[in-house]
Amino acid sequence: MSGDYDGRGNRDRSITKDDRPVGRTHYAEGAARPVAPDGPFLIGDGMTGGYGRGADILHDCTLSVEKGEIAVIVGPNGAGKSTAMKAVFGMLDLREGAVRLDGQDITSLSPQARVAEGMGFVPQTSNVFTSLTVEENLEMGAFLRQDDISETMAQVYDLFPVLKDKRRQPAGELSGGQRQQVAVGRALMTKPKLLMLDEPTAGVSPIVMDELFDRIIEVARTGISILMVEQNARQALEIADRGYVLVQGRNAFTDTGQALLADPQVRRSFLGG
Ligand SMILES: Nc1ncnc2c1ncn2[C@@H]1O[C@H](COP(=O)(O)OP(=O)(O)OP(=O)(O)O)[C@@H](O)[C@H]1O
Ligand SMILES: [Mg+2]
């Protein structure tokens, strides 16, 4: 696989959660449990399930991403991309399958507990508080933290300088691209090890999309893994270490981003030729 941790030059881990206690010995019921540490950094493994008592939406769906890598999920509308993200984040009861993060089985954890374990999630819709200022949105992102958040906030402002200029403005007054930056910044405030983004470039211009992808690459270079759903499949696969094509809740194609871009069948069916 391309782009291992050191190969991408990921030496600056300052916004990654690397100060976690190790060697804990007691595990409460429903807590994260250590498993074999040699698997992928994050894996949703054989996920099967749906909403409530409804029919299954996901069928043996597997997604994984290594440390500091970018994994991109593409597929037609209604394929289950958002559902798969929700399953990884613990918003869906899986009938079968497991989610493992950094050597721990987190399948039984609530979304909030997953945030504490290092997951950041930017949902597809309603991902900012429009009536709160930019800075208040970032502060909300850090609600689980007890420590000083000013350094992380400065890092978010370094990544997205326009947010610093607009920090006192209600997020609802920002452009679509700027709002997406707020949403990503808010997720970064938890110091995640894994950042999950559901269509971060929805509704933005091609130039703003390129900008956002550049920032996402920058985040990955700090050692944070990215799991991202994208409608702009071609452009997203260009920056993907690993790509997944989902169709009707199933893995249809899985390969490196480059290999998927070069696959005639993938091109014909999902990339417009
Ligand atoms: N909250 C929900 N309750 C019940 N069914 C849902 C819910 N959300 C989505 N679904 C159904 O699950 C299936 C997959 O939807 P999902 O939103 O995961 O697809 P998607 O690939 O993200 O689509 P899009 O590209 O439009 O974002 C669809 O049939 C949808 O109707
Ligand atoms: Mg979706």
For 242-255, what is the mean pLDDT?
98
Is the pLDDT at 248 greater than 60? The verdict is: yes
pLDDT digits (tens, 9 = 90+) for 202-238: 989 999 999 999 999 999 999 999 999 999 999 999 9
Contact criterion met (CB below 8 Å) for 103 and 37: yes
What is the band of 10 on the pLDDT scale with cuts at 50, 70, 90? Answer: very low
Superfamily of chain region 1-11+40-118+195-273: P-loop containing nucleotide triphosphate hydrolases (3.40.50.300)
- Say if residue 273 is exposed, middle or buried (CB neighbours under 10 Å; 0-12, 13-18, 19+): exposed
pLDDT at position 36 is: 61
Is the pLDDT at 25 greater than 60? The verdict is: no
Atom of ligand 1 nearest to the CA of 85: 18
pLDDT at position 28 is: 57
The DSSP secondary-structure symbol of 30 reads T
With pLDDT > 70 as the criterion, what percentage of the chain qualifies? 86
pLDDT at position 35 is: 67
With pLDDT > 90 as the criterion, what percentage of the chain qualifies? 81
83 lines ligand 1 (CB under 6 A): yes
81 lines ligand 1 (CB under 6 A): yes
Whose C-alpha lies nearest to ligand 1, atom 16? 80
pLDDT at position 126 is: 85
Task: For residue 204, give Cα distances in angstroms to 65, 96, 175, 178.
Answer: 26, 36, 9, 9
Is the pLDDT at 41 greater than 70? The verdict is: yes
In the chain, domain spans: 1-11+40-118+195-273, 129-191
Strands 242-247 and 250-255: antiparallel
pLDDT digits (tens, 9 = 90+) for 59-102: 999 999 999 999 999 999 999 999 999 999 999 989 999 999 99
23 lines ligand 1 (CB under 6 A): no
pLDDT at position 273 is: 78
